């Protein structure tokens, strides 16, 4: 611990954020970085606790507390404080493949479990990690690291999202020959097409993909495994297969009028925007998707927030966001003590931009849609919404949100984006490989394991655990790689 009184001497300082009026005019990243000396002092705030929950990655009260990757957080923060950026990168690389991704899009479970957060603002571990990895890239420390010896074993990874990329990176380092299959035209999966460019610039993904290719990993895009090639055919060509296709089966809103034009799933909308931007090198902005329209986003999570921010950039006339659950408390309740994940109100960048643009928070809590209405051309023109209230189900003993009589009302809308979460993976892939799945259509394994019902087929990420965070997907990809390596070699040093 280089600065025992650092948390007393220095206030938390975050990197600069571009003004909403400026940043909504483009799709570039808007969250900047501190100067190295300023970031170094942020590392000094780390208390190097005797029990560092920040790196525990354990479940408390059904929620994750601390980093699932078990990053060596106090050590890295201390090295940042001492300005030893190279050694900080070495430490970070021991547990993490892609800190350039999580330092941009992770909700920072490490910071939520930081002891400093008990009485003050937590250590800026997420920004410290970004400073470390960007220093490493800028100074040539991040290398392809092609293995010196190949094992002759072959592995196919189906899906190039964070879980698939992490598994491929680890297995290639071990010396196995890895081929990654992706049904889209570019690798990256959720990172590429599910997260908007202003949160994660795609050049950051391209930078990493180039290194992976230089290290010997093969990417085969525009190949839809399960349709273009059967799972059994693919399995016959490789010693092992990892299924990392994500939880890409969106939850629908099944109400009258759902067939109206102008109603899209959120990821479908976000993907189409990103693809147009990438295909044109950002010269062709698809304003026609939302310009002048009254937009309704259904769902209050990260994807819903991304839809809000994207709609504003496309010139929406207005944006509202429906959330089924009650508005969270602004600070921790006694029933939600540290180091549990804080169930508190979070106003993300999209909501901030809506407040700046339209003068009010776009979120309407405890509300859902009961009907969509169409105009003569079949386009959605209105949504009937109703208030909800929590009610205990006497049979299941669970609380459900139920409609409140007499609260129905109609809102004019021109574009509806459904961001209500996902119901597991698409079953055609599982069926093609002949693997079993559970009631949530996640691929089934024994608890804590990654091998499926088919001996040579493994799984990882959202396809295994259900819809989750990028950091969990990376952690799962690393663990699946370890299981595959052990099954191939009889032992593993991953």
pLDDT tens string 413-466:
999 999 999 988 898 999 999 999 988 889 999 999 999 999 999 999 999 999
Q: Percentage of the chain with pLDDT > 90?
A: 92
Predicted local confidence at residue 250, as pLDDT = 93
pLDDT tens string 123-162:
999 999 999 999 999 999 999 989 999 999 999 999 999 9
Pairing of strands 457-459, 240-243: parallel
Predicted local confidence at residue 424, as pLDDT = 86
Predicted local confidence at residue 37, as pLDDT = 96
Whether pLDDT at 199 is above 70:
yes
Evaluate whether 228 touches 430 at the Cβ level (below 8 Å): no
| Mean pLDDT across 108-132 | 95
Predicted local confidence at residue 172, as pLDDT = 98
Lowest mean pLDDT among 19-28, 260-269, 304-313, 425-434: 425-434
Predicted local confidence at residue 86, as pLDDT = 98
CA 409 to chain centre: 34
Q: Percentage of the chain with pLDDT > 70?
A: 100
What band does 235 get if pLDDT is binned at 50, 70 and 90? very high
Whether pLDDT at 367 is above 80:
yes
| Mean pLDDT across 193-207 | 98
Query: What is the rounded CA–CA span in Å between residue 492 and residue 397?
Result: 45
Q: Phi, psi (5° rounding) for residue 269?
A: -65, -50
CB count within 10 Å of CB 13 equals: 15
User: 3-class SS at 17?
Assistant: strand
Predicted local confidence at residue 340, as pLDDT = 92
DSSP of 426-447, one letter per residue? -HHHHHHHT--B-TTSPBP-ST
Predicted local confidence at residue 394, as pLDDT = 84
Mean pLDDT, all residues of the chain: 96
Whether pLDDT at 344 is above 90:
yes
Predicted local confidence at residue 366, as pLDDT = 97
Question: How far, CA to CA in Å, does 234 sit from each of 185, 224, 239, 300?
Answer: 19, 11, 10, 38
User: Please, what are the domains in the chain?
Assistant: 6-138 (1.10.1060.10), 154-248+423-489 (3.50.50.60), 263-418 (3.50.50.60)
Predicted local confidence at residue 1, as pLDDT = 64
List the structure tokens of 148: 């010196």
pLDDT tens string 378-417:
999 999 999 999 999 888 888 999 999 999 999 999 999 9
Which residues is 459 bridged to in the sheet? Answer: 243
| Mean pLDDT across 316-334 | 96
- Whether residue 339 is preceded by a cis peptide bond, meaning omega within 30 degrees of 0, is yes
Place of tokens 């396809």: 463
């Amino acid at each position: 611990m280089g600065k025992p009184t650092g948390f007393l001497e220095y206030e938390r300082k975050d990197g600069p954020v571009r003004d909403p009026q400026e940043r909504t005019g483009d799709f570039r990243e808007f969250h900047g970085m501190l100067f190295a000396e300023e970031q170094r002092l942020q590392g000094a705030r780390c208390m190097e606790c005797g029990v560092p929950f920040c790196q525990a990655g354990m479940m408390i009260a059904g929620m994750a507390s601390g980093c699932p990757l078990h990053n060596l957080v106090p050590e890295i923060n201390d090295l940042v404080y001492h300005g030893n950026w190279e050694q900080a990168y070495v430490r970070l690389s021991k547990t993490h493949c892609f800190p350039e991704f999580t330092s941009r899009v992770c909700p920072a479970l490490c910071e939520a479990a930081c002891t400093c957060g008990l009485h003050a603002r937590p250590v800026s571990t997420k920004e410290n990690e970004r400073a470390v990895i960007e220093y490493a890239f800028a100074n040539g420390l991040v290398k392809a690291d092609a293995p010196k010896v190949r094992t002759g074993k072959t592995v196919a990874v189906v899906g190039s999202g964070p879980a698939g990329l992490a598994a491929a990176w680890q297995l290639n380092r071990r010396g196995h020959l890895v081929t990654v299959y992706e049904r889209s035209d570019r690798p990256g999966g959720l990172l590429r097409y599910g997260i908007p460019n202003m949160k994660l610039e795609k050049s950051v993904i391209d930078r990493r993909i180039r290194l992976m290719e230089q290290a010997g990993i093969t990417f085969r895009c525009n190949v839809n495994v399960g349709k273009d090639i059967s799972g059994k055919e693919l399995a016959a060509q490789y010693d092992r297969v990892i299924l990392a296709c994500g939880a890409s089966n969106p939850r629908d809103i099944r109400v009258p009028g759902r067939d109206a034009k102008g109603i899209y799933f959120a990821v479908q909308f976000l993907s189409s925007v990103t693809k147009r931007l990438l295909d044109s090198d950002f010269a062709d902005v698809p304003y026609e998707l939302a310009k002048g329209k009254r937009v309704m986003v259904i769902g209050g999570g990260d994807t819903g927030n991304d839809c809000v921010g994207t709609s504003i950039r496309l010139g929406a006339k207005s944006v509202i966001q429906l959330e089924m659950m009650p508005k969270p408390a602004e600070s921790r309740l006694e029933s939600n003590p540290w180091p549990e994940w804080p169930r508190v109100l979070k106003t993300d960048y999209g909501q901030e931009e809506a407040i700046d643009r339209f003068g009010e928070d776009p979120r309407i809590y405890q509300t859902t849609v009961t009907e969509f209405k169409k105009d003569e051309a079949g386009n959605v023109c209105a949504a009937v919404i109703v208030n909800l209230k929590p009610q205990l189900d006497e049979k299941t003993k669970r609380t459900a949100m139920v409609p409140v009589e007499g609260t129905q009302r109609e809102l004019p809308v021109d574009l509806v984006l459904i961001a209500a979460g996902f119901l597991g993976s698409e079953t055609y892939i599982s069926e093609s490989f002949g693997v079993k799945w559970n009631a949530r259509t996640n691929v089934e394994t024994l608890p804590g394991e990654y091998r499926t019902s088919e001996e040579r087929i493994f799984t990882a990420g959202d396809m295994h655990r259900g819809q989750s965070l990028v950091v969990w997907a990376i952690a799962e990809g690393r663990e699946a790689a370890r299981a595959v390596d052990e099954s191939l070699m009889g032992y593993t040093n991953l």
